[in-house]
Amino acid sequence: MSFYSGLAATASRLVERFGVVITLTKATRAEYDPTTGTFLDDSESVFTGYGVRDTYRNTEVDGTRIASGDVRVYLSVVLSADPSPGDVLTIEGERLSVVECKPIRPGATVVLYDVQTRKA
């Protein structure tokens, strides 16, 4: 186990202990059918993990990149999926759209995800 793998495990334990259960829903589009101009079998993949909800400081809210009301979520890497823009996080019944996801990666291993979300 590398140093960063141990750090990721510790971060995941802390997020699980102090955070809440979070569901990540990723919409997946199947194959495109050019004859009909549609996608076949749109589906969703659902992943469950843990996260900690946080707010942005007033100095971080610029009204463009980070809007008033945006929610910062720190996600554990046990989700088994990288959050992407357009995905949806469900936290205690509230649906939030992923605006941006920054993996916290001091080395080759992702330790935690810093996710910017907005009400869906």
Pick the closest to residue 7 from 96, 106, 92, 115 (CA basis): 106
Over 70: is that where the pLDDT of 1 sits?
A: no
Alpha carbon 57 to chain centroid distance?
20
Q: d(Cα 96, Cα 106) in Å, to the nearest integer? A: 27
* Overall average pLDDT of the 69-95 stretch: 92
CATH of the domain at 92: 2.40.10.270
pLDDT the model gives residue 78: 80
Segments forming the whole domain that contains residue 97: 3-119
The larger pLDDT score, comparing residue 29 to residue 99, is at 99
Give how many domains the chain has, as a whole number.
1
DSSP 3-state percent helix, strand, coil across the chain (nearest 5): 15, 45, 40
pLDDT the model gives residue 81: 86
Residue pair 88/95 in contact (Cβ under 8 Å)? The answer is: yes
Burial 42-79 (b: 16+ CB within 10 A, else e): eeeeebebbbbbeebeeeeeeeeebeeebbbbbbbbbb
Which of 32-41, 55-64, 92-101 shows the lowest mean pLDDT across its residues?
32-41
Over 70: is that where the pLDDT of 9 sits?
A: yes
Q: What is the pTM of this model?
A: 0.82
